[in-house]
Amino acid sequence: MSAAEAVRRPVVDVDHVTKSFGDHVVLRDISLSVEQGSVTVVLGPSGSGKSTLLRTINHLEKVDRGQIHVDGDLIGYRRQGDRLHELRERDVLRQRSRIGFVFQDFNLFPHLTVLQNVAEAPVSAQGRKRAEVEALAERLLARVGLSDKASAYPRQLSGGQQQRVAIARALALEPKVLLFDEPTSALDPELVGEVLDVIRSLADEGATLVVVTHEIGFAREIADTVVFMDHGQVVESGPPAQVIDSPTHERTRAFIRRVL
């Protein structure tokens, strides 16, 4: 592989993935590739499969067909000859620990302080030294503007602050890619901006991001690639100037009109 090819290798490579729940096909032959340092925004109506797509990247859902690589690692399986064997839980957790995931509803541990929330996974999942991880956690809390909340508990914070803790927690694993599933949908409108500011700063620093959001203005501003999904399919994808401002498919046009 040449140096140029090494740089271009996608961090996330979703290759012809299909996923059903019972008879219901939720992802239909999805392919998607996310380059290092790029921002991909996934748009689409409720029920179109956006969350399921993110969850397959993390192996929180198993795919029925197709495969996913993150940073060159086949997710959830190990290849032996031409057969695939599902990984053991421990190996799945190791893969998952390099894929940051930020949920709509924060999912902080209520019984742990803010600092402990950020430091927990690197210690338990990556076996790093607590003192070293706590120093890192303090730096990450400063980065998301929450140095003064290190010893608070989640219930003492606003939704926007909790989501910023969740972002710091994801960053503590030094992930190859950060996946955001509607990170501002559960927030009061006046708290959305502080969370988008943090995501924007990560993009500016060159992090590799996949963001599911209905914030169209934000998508236009930060996305390198916008992917529009409907009924489990990628209907169209491309730069925001194309997919948001002059979509070619009627389904995309109708969706953009509704959310603008």
Residue ranges that bind ligand ADP, judged by CB under 6 A: 21, 26, 44, 46-52
The entry of Mg ion, ligand ADP, none near residue 176 (CB within 5 to 8 angstroms by kind) is none
Q: How far apart are CA 170 and CA 163, in angstroms?
A: 11
Nearer Cβ to ligand ADP (26/87): 26
Is 52 a binding residue for Mg ion by CB under 5 A? The answer is: no
Nearer Cβ to Mg ion (45/159): 45
Which string of DSSP letters, residue by residue, matches 8-68? HSEEEEEEEEEEEETTEEEEEEEEEEEETT-EEEEE--TTSSHHHHHHHHTTSS--SEEEE
The entry of Mg ion, ligand ADP, none near residue 117 (CB within 5 to 8 angstroms by kind) is none
Pairing of the two strands 39-43 and 225-230: parallel
- Tell me the three state secondary structure of residue 246: coil
Q: How far apart are CA 67 and CA 140, in angstroms?
A: 33
Q: Quick one: which segment of 22-30, 45-53, 68-76, 116-124 binds Mg ion (CB under 5 A)?
A: 45-53
In angstroms, what is the minimal distance from the CB of 55 to ligand ADP? Answer: 7
User: Considering only residues 38, 40, 48, 51, which one is a binding residue for Mg ion as defined by CB under 5 A?
Assistant: 51
In angstroms, what is the minimal distance from the CB of 194 to Mg ion? Answer: 22
In angstroms, what is the minimal distance from the CB of 27 to ligand ADP? Answer: 8
Which string of DSSP letters, residue by residue, matches 168-224? HHHHTT--SEEEEESTTTTS-HHHHHHHHHHHHHHHHTT--EEEE-S-HHHHHHH-S
Q: Quick one: which segment of 16-24, 49-57, 82-90, 142-150 binds Mg ion (CB under 5 A)?
A: 49-57
Instruction: Give the closest residue to 84 by CA, choosing from 108, 66, 109, 61.
Output: 66
The entry of Mg ion, ligand ADP, none near residue 80 (CB within 5 to 8 angstroms by kind) is none
- In 131-173, the DSSP E strands lie at none
The entry of Mg ion, ligand ADP, none near residue 39 (CB within 5 to 8 angstroms by kind) is none
Nearer Cβ to ligand ADP (49/122): 49
- What is the contact surface with Mg ion in residues (CB under 5 A)? 50-51
